[in-house]
Chains A and B, each alone.
Chain A
Amino acid sequence: MFDADALARLQALDPQGASGLVERVLRTYAHSLEQLGDAMGAALLAGDVVEVGKHAHTLKSSSGSVGASRLAALCASLERRTKAVQVPGGAAAEGPSGAPPGAQASAELAAETNALLREVARARAELRAMLPD
């Protein structure tokens, strides 16, 4: 899930490991994944696109910071999509003819969010494996 040198770079910020930085960061990140994942799912269910976007933004930021580039990219994409949905008529231009533009966009948004959430769940599992209890 992490970039090849991501952990090494983190390690470099705490060369002696005195502050246990890497572990603290990973735990915090794990915590964020859990919280943001749950919150994002809830927002999606509630149909709150703006809220989904905010969580995507935050998660993007966190993921970027720890070097989880793939996840960050997914978050960025989702964030963009939430913005496009928010722009009135924004999706209409793209939307294929016939279908109601809002519904089409929402469906796509839901699909992308669910994909992200699956990715988040995988990342959490991976982190759990990495971190001692």
Chain B
Amino acid sequence: MSSPSRYVDDSAPAQPRVLLVDDEPVTLMVTSAALREHGFLVREASGGQEALDLVTESVPDIVVLDARMPGLDGFETCRSLRARPGFENLPVLMLTGLDDDASITRAYQAGATDFFVKSNQWSLLDGRLRYLLRASRTRQELERNRAKLARAQDLARMGSFDWRRQGGLSLSAEALRVFGRSAADRLGMREVLRMVPPEERLVMLRMLRQTLQRSSVLTTDVPVHLADGRQRVIHVEAEAEFNEQGQNVGYTGIVQDVTDRRIAEDKIRHLANFDALTGLPNRRQLIWRAERALDQARRMHHDCALLLIDLDRFKVINDTLGHAAGDELLMEVARRLRACVRHSDQVIEGSLETIGVRSHRSLEAVGRLGGDEFVALLPEVDDEADAARVAERVLVSMREPIFVGGQECFVTASVGVAMYPRDGNSVADLMRNSDVAMYSVKAQGRNAAAVYGPQLAGRGREKLELETALHKAIERDELVLFYQPKIDVRAGTMVGVEALMRWRRGDRLVPPGDFIPLAEETGLIVPLSEWAMNEAARQARLWQLAHGYSRSIAVNLPSRLFERSDLIDHIHRCATANGVPHRVLMLEITEDNLMKDLQNVIPALHRLNEIGVEVAIDDFGTGYSSLAYLTTLPISELKIDRSFVRELGFNPQSSAVISAIIALARSLGLRVIAEGVENLRQMEVLSRLGVTEMQGFLFARPMPADELGAWLGGGTGASSAASGGDRVQAALAQAAASAAQGVRS
């Protein structure tokens, strides 16, 4: 921190310009020389008129003026100088004689800044001049600051005021402007208070009285009606002033027009709480309202409801008609949704108690959470049916087509309802559970409402999203079948393939383990399986044409497919539509599945047998199959569970089980195939045990249809079998080689 004087010195000119005026040539010459010697730039004038002329030419920093001169003397010169605009504050030092008291008085009267008794002590004159220059700069600085302050106050629509217990109110020019008055006007406390609307005035007076009693700080916003009819909000801030005895003698402070700020604040508050597109309360505001509503419901022991409303297939509309149309549609939807509840746009902040007991009703609203998700908050409902009625109203409101982007759109919504306190005690719980309910609607085909129930719990949103996506997977052609060859290792030929489902979800290839259980759980497995059968039939036809393929393609089906009465019809349709015989399809059912629903599955097995479709039992050996049943079932193949294959060579029981299965199969006339064969050792053991058909990474991984072409041979007819056999031989040889290498390393 530099001292003020230091600051002033920094800004001082290196060589102050002095205008030296004296009629007497010797003094002029000597004084001039002395001042130059002390670092001043001196211009000389030998009389008053000459001085005035020079001053117009170039303005000096200071004027040194001999008082007594013939013609225009120092006093007259000074007076004329002061009368000129811009020279009111130029420092003027009047030089007087030693015993010339009269001149001193006259010097001040003429407007001189100071006087100096002529002397040959030049350093005294130098000191005096520098002091005057410093004072002048300080004064200029002060003037500038005052001007700046006035300008700043003006810009800030601010002004200062002073109130004395004795003497009342006085307002600065800027403060008067804040109240819409000119600087010349007088404004007393009474007039100021009269600008405040009567109802506010009483509050204001009470506050003023209290502030005064406590000598406390005053900070408040006051609405006023100005004389020109404008309504403004004035911010007042004042502090008490005390005299030496510590008595409060008055207040000093500022007034500021904060109307614009208030408007901006309101706007900001609105932006922060309302959705820009639809004008509905946004997530933040909605959660705030919901929390207040729950507080109130807790206190008054009534129910609340939260409705989560999600538009169905909004993405499709957005994608096909464009975002502008999507936005238009959302606005219309918002308008309709508002009409479904007693929507209130009011932002309520502060305590509800002051507004009244029924005030929670004003919390009721539809809000937009983002995207195509809306929420309806019902702060008080009688029961679930009450909420369901509103949900129904929402669905009905969507029925009319919406005209956007030059065409009619039909929009439906899925609505999930959660009830307080039954379905959750907090806003977060209610949001989550209404979400769960909403997604259950989506899963069941959309355009409906569902109330949350515990049976829906545990179905995480992620899962439900997956489900929704899976639902669309078929129509979007995202499902593909991979094929894994079944190899007869003794003959060195491929005896068939198993089709395995994959889901191309975006860039990702979802393995069956990640979606098949979900598909089974949700029932989506039915359309999925039906698709797989048709796809397999189609592929069989393509291979038949290209490679003369005549083997079967095995498709995995869950037991519930076997229970469906239309299974046979479906297979028939697949076969005829694609021009392949029924036997091209082979069905696999797991032992678990089979045994679980045995009674229901058996009829289908018989019918499949009748039309020539073979059935294999998958994962055989793990379940607790009643061997007795096996003898009566019309099945063709047992697939040894991969767990036994894996443990071959480690666990003696594995080979025992496999031997038993082989014995059983032989006696029943069934084929046996080992799955999950991954190394040569397993292959050798299996061969030794009598298994000839195998499937596994050792030979080939599941692969897309076009890659399997190499296994099927390049051409058609007789050569294909041979070339396919070559591929098998090659695979076996390669497997043997890599195994040998594995041993060496």
Contacts and interface: CB of A to CB of B under 8 A. Distances in A.
Interface of A: 6, 9-10, 12-14, 19, 21, 24-25, 28-29, 31-32, 54, 57-58, 60-62, 64-67, 76
A65 B30 contact: yes
Interface string B120-141: 1010000000000000000000
- Give the interface centre of B24, B66, B122 by most chain A CB atoms within 10 Å: B24
A10 B68 contact: no
For the complex of A and B, the 8 pairs showing the least CB-CB separation, nearest first, are A62-B26, A65-B27, A13-B33, A65-B30, A61-B24, A13-B37, A29-B26, A65-B26
Interface string B645-680: 000000000000000000000000000000000000
A65 B27 CA distance: 5
B676 to A, nearest CB: 114
Given A24-B29, A57-B97, A64 B118 contact: yes
A62 B27 contact: yes
- Give the interface centre of B29, B68, B122 by most chain A CB atoms within 10 Å: B29
- Give the interface centre of B31, B66, B97 by most chain A CB atoms within 10 Å: B97
B24 A66 contact: no
B118 A66 contact: no
A66 B26 contact: yes
Contact of A21 (B25, B33, B68, B70): B33
A14 B33 contact: yes
B34 interface: yes
17 contacts: A6-B120, A9-B120, A13-B30, A13-B33, A13-B36, A25-B29, A25-B30, A28-B25, A29-B26, A31-B25, A32-B24, A57-B68, A60-B97, A61-B27, A62-B26, A64-B118, A66-B30
B23 interface: yes
Contacts of A66: 26, 30
Contacts of B98: 76
Contacts of A62: 24-27
Given A25-B29, A28-B26, 17 more contacts: A12-B37, A13-B30, A13-B37, A19-B33, A24-B29, A25-B30, A25-B33, A29-B26, A57-B68, A58-B24, A61-B26, A61-B66, A62-B25, A65-B27, A65-B120, A67-B120, A76-B99
Contacts of B24: 32, 58, 61-62, 65
A64 B98 CA distance: 11
Contacts, number: 62
Interface residues of B, number: 22
Interface string B40-57: 000000000000000000
B1 to A, nearest CB: 39
B98 to A, nearest CB: 8
B123 to A, nearest CB: 11
Interface string B71-102: 00000000000000000000000000111000
Contacts of A29: 26
A66 B34 CA distance: 12
Nearest to A33: B26
Nearest to A14: B33
- Give the interface centre of A19, A62, A67, A76 by most chain B CB atoms within 10 Å: A62
A3 to B, nearest CB: 9
A72 B193 CA distance: 72
A55 to B, nearest CB: 10
A14 B29 CA distance: 12
A58 B23 contact: yes
B25 A32 contact: yes
A67 B120 CA distance: 8
Contacts of B31: 65
Contact of A13 (B22, B99, B122): B122
Nearest to A24: B29
Contacts of A14: 33, 37
- Give the interface centre of A6, A10, A13 by most chain B CB atoms within 10 Å: A13
A24 B27 CA distance: 12
B101 to A, nearest CB: 13
Contacts of B30: 10, 13, 25, 65-66
A61 B33 contact: no
A66 B24 CA distance: 12
Nearest to A21: B33
Contacts of A6: 120
Contacts of A61: 22, 24, 26-27, 66, 97, 118
Contacts of A24: 29
A54 B66 CA distance: 14
B718 to A, nearest CB: 127
A29 B99 CA distance: 23
Nearest to B122: A13
Interface string B342-381: 0000000000000000000000000000000000000000
B26 A54 contact: no
A17 to B, nearest CB: 12
A64 B25 contact: no
A125 B23 CA distance: 25
A84 to B, nearest CB: 13
B357 to A, nearest CB: 96
A63 to B, nearest CB: 8
B587 to A, nearest CB: 124
A61 B66 CA distance: 10
Contacts of A60: 97
A110 B30 CA distance: 31
A64 B26 CA distance: 9
- Give the interface centre of B25, B70, B99 by most chain A CB atoms within 10 Å: B25
Contacts of B34: 13
Contacts of B36: 13
B740 to A, nearest CB: 111
Interface string B5-36: 00000000000000000111111011101101
Contacts of A19: 33
A131 to B, nearest CB: 14
A47 to B, nearest CB: 20
A54 B22 CA distance: 14
B94 to A, nearest CB: 14
A75 to B, nearest CB: 11
A95 B385 CA distance: 129
Contacts of B70: 54
A32 B120 contact: no
Nearest to A58: B24
A38 B70 CA distance: 18
Nearest to B26: A62
A64 B118 CA distance: 9
Contacts of B33: 13-14, 19, 21, 25
Nearest to A69: B120
A53 to B, nearest CB: 10
B671 to A, nearest CB: 129
Given A54-B70, A57-B68, A65-B31, A25 B120 contact: no
B485 to A, nearest CB: 116
Nearest to B25: A28
B132 to A, nearest CB: 21
A12 B419 CA distance: 104
Contacts of B25: 28, 31-32, 62
Interface in B632-653: none
